[in-house]
């Protein structure tokens, strides 16, 4: 039937979107790992810099690099400042991206809920179609099994109707 084809196409598209989302989440975790590694490297460099400063204080012979090239410390300081600014910009970008992801997740949940309601509606229509077929069969054939099936379908239809009414009442 047409709607089954539409639903399967929808399901395939949803599966593809979920695969892309999983890959993006994996990329995010890889990016987090790289970022932590970079942060540990920067922390180690800062520790080495403190050791270097202590060593510099104890150097009385004036033969180390900062005496022969006095701007080395300024260059390192500027590099550290640039690194911290870059990390700050990265944090801002990450927060924006996380907010975008939360909006995207909310939209996906709403779409999933809408698809469930859509599928329920089609199942209900299909139930009505089966009821009509069974009623036509009952007119032309005397078989108790048809009556049992009709009773079952009527019970299902009533239950679905009650669920729908309850669902809409909850929304009000």
pLDDT digits (tens, 9 = 90+) for 34-82: 888 999 999 888 888 887 777 777 666 666 666 667 677 778 888 888 9
Q: pLDDT-based confidence at 153, cuts 50/70/90?
A: confident
Identify whether the C-beta of residue 3 lies closer than 8 Å to the C-beta of residue 122: yes
DSSP symbol at 14: H
| pTM score, whole prediction | 0.32
**Domain total of the chain:** 1
Condensed to tens digits (0 to 9), the pLDDT of residues 112-147 reads 888 777 777 776 677 677 777 777 776 776 777 767
Q: Which domain holds residue 147?
A: 2-171
Could you give the maximum distance between any two Cα atoms of the chain, in Å?
114
Identify whether the C-beta of residue 72 lies closer than 8 Å to the C-beta of residue 65: yes
Q: What is the pLDDT of residue 1?
A: 47
Residue 169, pLDDT above cutoff 80:
no
Token pair belonging to 77: 């300081």
Average pLDDT, the chain: 78
Q: What b/e sequence results for 59-81 when a residue is b if at least 16 CB atoms lie within 10 Å of its CB, and e otherwise?
A: eeeeeeebeeeeeeeeeeeeeee
């Amino acid at each position: 039937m047409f709607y089954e084809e539409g639903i399967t196409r929808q399901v395939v598209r949803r599966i593809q979107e979920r695969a892309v989302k999983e890959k993006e989440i994996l990329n995010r975790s890889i990016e987090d790992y790289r970022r932590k590694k970079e942060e540990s490297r920067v922390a180690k460099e800062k520790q080495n810099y403190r050791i270097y400063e202590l060593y510099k204080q104890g150097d009385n012979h004036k033969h180390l690099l900062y005496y022969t090239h006095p701007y080395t410390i300024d260059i390192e300081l500027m590099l550290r400042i640039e690194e911290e600014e870059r990390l700050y910009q990265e944090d801002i970008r990450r927060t924006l991206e996380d907010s975008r992801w939360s909006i995207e997740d909310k939209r996906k949940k709403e779409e999933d809920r809408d698809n469930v309601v859509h599928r329920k509606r089609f199942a209900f229509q299909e139930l009505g179609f089966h009821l009509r077929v069974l009623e036509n069969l009952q007119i032309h054939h005397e078989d108790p099994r048809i009556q049992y099936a009709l009773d079952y379908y009527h019970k299902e239809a009533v239950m679905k109707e009650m669920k729908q009414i309850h669902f809409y009442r909850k929304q009000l």
